[in-house]
Amino acid sequence: MKNSIRWAVGCVLILYTSEALARVKLVALPERARVVVALGNPSATLVEEERLITLQKGVNKVDFSWRGVNIDPTSIQVRALTHPKDVIILNTSYPPNENALIWEIASGGAQEERVRISYLLSGFNRDIVYKAVAEPDERSLTLRNYLRLRNDSGEDLTEAEVNIGYGAAFKKTIAHEEVLEMLSERIEGVAIRKILTWDAATLPWDPEYEKKTVGIPLSYIVTNNTAAKLGQHTLLPGKVRIFIKTKEQPAAAGEQAGEGVTFTGEDWATLTPVDREMKLYIGQSRDVKVTQRKTKDDKTNIRRNNGNNVVLHDTDEIYKIEIENFKKTPVDLVLVEHIPGYWRMAENSHTQQFRRKDAFTFEYHLTLPANTSGEKKTVVTFNINRLNVQGNEPTTY
């Protein structure tokens, strides 16, 4: 038998047999006047449906039952919309071993009433899928936001108003076991920043000793604000596939070259509220080479205990980072350095580009000019002194 939600208005006769309760129902079945599916809460799908029921003056019984539909029975509630002051929900009865309930509704007159029932429905899920096409200069992209609805709830939802928590609701019909994907938003000219991130804690310092070319992680940063043509709502988590515009080869010599796209990578977007950044890791760059070396590593102010063991010292450390950009375009690169414990910067070649992130981490935000390899390479040096080192200094917090 088909899965269904049924409303029954009329008299519900309750008959008792010797061991089990049987209910004989004489019912009218009101049609759905409206269905609204709210998907704003990522952990729960709320359905609100409206039906026109005819009430007699006095106490009426309204039966609501469902079969094969994943309704959370503790979430069901009903509201009278037409005459909220004159139509009162007196109580709710729950028969044993049935997916059903019966409302006793008092009505001040014989009248038609629009009622709205709300319940949480499981098995109706939504995914967000983003597709982004970056301009060739990688400074902006067109973002398309797709909503993918999966209905495994057991119920066919016809002409349902779907509300995803932002923007206008839209009407869709989604049958049980149907997957429906639709474009919910298309935004052109979304500003992005493309950055490479070289982290001293995770990447090899000297590429010469590596068998393969070291790839430096490449990310797009999207800020969810109005300056980036976003900032209207929280960006929900989902998979982002990123393409870049390319010129197609002309089909024949002398013909106009068409426009195409090439897939450059994908990542999971995390939930990004307004005014916060989304960082999408899309691949690696192998056209930028970073070589970091420690050119000085001295212990100073050494203090020993009576057993001649070192119990405390300072350090004098110099680091040199050589960066080559083999690309024909400038590149933004972030160098991430980690220094545990108590330290002071003694000398720094790039104070303008220096950013202290926290007590044990700092970064250089560099823009590498195009074609700066070999003699033209960028060289960053810094000299730090670690103080009162005992060997148990914190590296994180």
Partner 1 sequence: MRKLFPSLFVASAFAALAAHARINVVTLPGRDTVQLTVYNSADLTLVKETRVLTFRKGLNRLEFSWANTLIDPTSVEFRALTHADDVDVLDISFPPRVTNTLEWRINSEFAGEVQVEIRYFTSGISWSADYVLEAQRTEKLAAVAGYVRINNNSGEDYENAQVRLVVGVIHLVDEIAKLAAMGRPGQLPVPPQASAMPAEAKLELAKSVRLLERSAAVTGQAQVVKEELSEYFLYTVGARDTIPNGWSKRLPSLSTNDVPLTSYYKYEKERWGDAVVRYYRFKNDKASRLGNEPLPDGQVNAFRFVTDDLLYSFVGRSSVKYIPIDEQVELELGHDSEVLVKPILVNWTKTDLQFDQHGDVKGWTIRETWEIEVQNSKEIDVIVDVRRNFSGDWRLTTRAEYENVDATKIKFVLPLKPREKQKFTYELTTRCGTNATR
Nearer to partner 1, 235 or 244 (CB): 235
Hey, which residues does 66 pair with through a beta bridge? 5
Nearer to partner 1, 118 or 284 (CB): 118
Nearer to partner 1, 149 or 331 (CB): 149
Q: How far is the CB of 275 from partner 1 (least distance, A)?
A: 6
Beta carbons within 8 Å of 376's beta carbon, 6+ residues apart: 369
Q: How far is the CB of 199 from partner 1 (least distance, A)?
A: 18
CB 13 within 8 A of CB 24: yes
Long-range contacts, stretch 276-280, CB < 8 angstroms, 24+ apart: 276/223, 276/224, 277/221, 277/222, 277/223, 277/224, 278/221, 278/222, 278/223, 278/224, 278/235, 279/219, 279/220, 279/221, 280/219, 280/220, 280/221, 280/222, 280/240, 280/242
* Residues engaged in binding partner 1 (CB under 8 A): 14, 16, 18-19, 21, 36, 38, 40-41, 43-44, 46, 48, 74-75, 77, 79, 88-97, 106, 118, 120, 163, 165, 234, 271, 273-276, 303-307, 311-312, 341-342, 356-360, 387-388, 390, 393-394, 397
Helix (H/G/I), strand (E/B), else coil: 368:
strand
CA atoms of 376 and 166, how far apart (whole Å) = 50
Q: Any idea how long the chain is?
A: 397
Tokens 């800020």: give the residue. 223
Q: How far is the CB of 215 from partner 1 (least distance, A)?
A: 29
Q: How far is the CB of 41 from partner 1 (least distance, A)?
A: 5
Nearer to partner 1, 283 or 341 (CB): 341
Q: How far is the CB of 79 from partner 1 (least distance, A)?
A: 8
Q: How far is the CB of 144 from partner 1 (least distance, A)?
A: 23
Nearer to partner 1, 109 or 165 (CB): 165
CB 63 within 8 A of CB 100: yes
Nearer to partner 1, 39 or 335 (CB): 39
